């Protein structure tokens, strides 16, 4: 059994560094959303063109992340993580130094791809630092880093953009990334890949039907919640009669709920990941039904928003845990796939909510989400019977 420990790297320090990496990358992703108006004016592009910068990052993560992970399966996770941070810093340096729209767009694809690779390598490293019974909590550290960034990245982007300009915001990202790279170079341990691991062999296990079934569940859960969350602001204005600064309070509450949910979800994953997925899908569906049925009540909608955020993100560590467990020897590659599934769910949910609105108006968006959530409950229950193949032994974790 190999170990990820070194004399100078404690699990707490390594996990804190990985959390910081997830947080910085997540904030960089969300910065653009908070500065769309500034970018639109400065680069002389339309709002949809500026929005494509967000889409480019998501596509890079969903497609490029697994591809890069596949290409780097043979390598020690330490140099892979350091390489992702180097590319992340250099790619974000382009908009900071004055890149035009076309270069910025390409850079965002690359940033998303290395972000996906970072997630996969960080998941493997995190689980190597703890005993098997704490693997879910270790994975939750990475997920919580991104969830925290989602909660804070938008307001940070808005404030930074107003204070130092949108390019100045990317200077701050580069500085944070460079500092993180320096720390990571000191504290990250060596995490070798098993000698017998090869890309083709890992792919055979990572894309096995049992793994794909859990990835489909990830798509459903996040499509359900995103069907409503994408249109939360117009829902609050039209149905709940909430506008102005109060809208920010709802959005902040959602962000806080996702952060708490992803953190607590790690304990759920360690206790019983399959049960946690069923409960999570049920919680999201119930919250969406409350939002649909009691949308006129500000308090009820606040509770529903908290429920959607908490239960939705609480499924994250369990989804990651199940995918890695079911993939067995394909775990290093499979670790990149839940992020792709989540992004697919987000895109599908936004589309499904839009279709519902076209037919029934803003009030029915949560109902569409609840319908998808009902399917997710059934799939979550069914995937609970899935077991790893006999040859797919779990990837060993180090012990204390």
User: May I ask the CATH class of domain 199-383?
Assistant: mainly alpha
Q: Would you state the pLDDT for residue 86?
A: 96
Where does residue 165 rank: exposed (0-12), middle (13-18), buried (19+ CB within 10 A)? middle
For the entire predicted model, the pTM comes to 0.78
Q: Cα–Cα–Cα angle for 313, 319, 320, nearest 5°?
A: 105
Low-confidence spans in the chain with pLDDT less than 50: 1-7, 196, 392-400
Q: Would you state the pLDDT for residue 390?
A: 59
User: May I ask the CATH class of domain 11-187?
Assistant: mainly alpha
Alpha-carbon distances, residue 139 vs 80, 125, 185, 306 (angstroms): 18, 9, 21, 22
Domain coordinates of the chain in residue numbers?
11-187, 199-383
Q: How do residues 268-280 score in pLDDT, each as one tens digit?
A: 888 888 999 999 9
Q: Would you state the pLDDT for residue 201?
A: 65
Q: Would you state the pLDDT for residue 199?
A: 63
Fold agreement between 11-187 and 199-383: yes
Distance from C-alpha of 326 to C-alpha of 209, rounded to nearest angstrom? 10
Six token digits for residue 112: 């998303």
């Amino acid at each position: 059994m190999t170990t990820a420990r070194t004399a100078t790297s404690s699990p707490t320090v390594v996990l804190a560094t990985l959390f910081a990496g997830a947080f910085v990358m997540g904030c960089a992703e969300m910065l653009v959303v908070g500065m769309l108006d500034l970018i639109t004016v400065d680069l002389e592009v339309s709002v949809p063109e500026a929005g494509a910068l967000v889409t480019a990052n998501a596509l890079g993560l969903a497609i490029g992340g697994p591809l890069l992970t596949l290409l780097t399966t043979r390598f020690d996770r330490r140099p892979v993580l350091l390489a992702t941070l180097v590319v992340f810093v250099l790619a974000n340096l382009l908009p900071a130094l004055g890149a035009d729209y076309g270069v910025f767009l390409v850079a965002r694809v690359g940033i998303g791809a290395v972000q996906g690779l970072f997630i996969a390598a960080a998941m493997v490293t995190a689980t190597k630092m703890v005993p098997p019974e704490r693997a879910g909590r270790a994975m939750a550290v990475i997920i919580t880093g991104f969830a925290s960034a989602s909660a804070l990245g938008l307001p940070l982007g808005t404030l930074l953009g107003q204070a130092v300009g949108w390019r100045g915001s990317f200077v701050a990202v580069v500085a944070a990334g460079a500092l993180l790279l320096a720390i990571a170079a000191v504290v990250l341990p060596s995490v070798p890949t098993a000698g017998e691991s090869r890309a083709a062999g890992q792919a055979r296990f990572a894309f096995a039907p049992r793994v794909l079934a859990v990835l489909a569940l990830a798509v459903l859960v996040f499509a359900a919640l995103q069907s409503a969350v994408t249109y939360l602001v117009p829902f609050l204005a039209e149905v709940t009669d909430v506008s102005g600064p109060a809208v920010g309070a709802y959005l902040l509450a959602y962000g806080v709920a996702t952060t708490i949910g992803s953190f607590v979800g790690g304990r759920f994953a360690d206790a019983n990941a399959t049960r946690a997925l069923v409960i999570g899908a049920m919680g999201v569906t119930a919250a969406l039904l409350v939002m649909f049925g009691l949308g006129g009540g500000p308090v009820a909608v606040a509770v529903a928003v908290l429920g959607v955020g908490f239960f939705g993100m609480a499924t994250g560590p369990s989804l990651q845990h199940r995918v890695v467990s079911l993939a067995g020897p394909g775990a290093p590659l499979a670790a990149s796939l839940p992020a792709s599934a989540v992004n697919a769910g987000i895109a599908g949910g936004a589309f499904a909510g839009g279709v519902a609105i076209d037919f029934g108006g803003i009030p029915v968006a949560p109902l569409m989400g609840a319908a998808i959530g009902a399917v997710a409950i059934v799939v979550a229950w069914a995937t609970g019977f899935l077991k790893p193949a006999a040859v797919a032994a779990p990837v060993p974790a180090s012990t204390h």
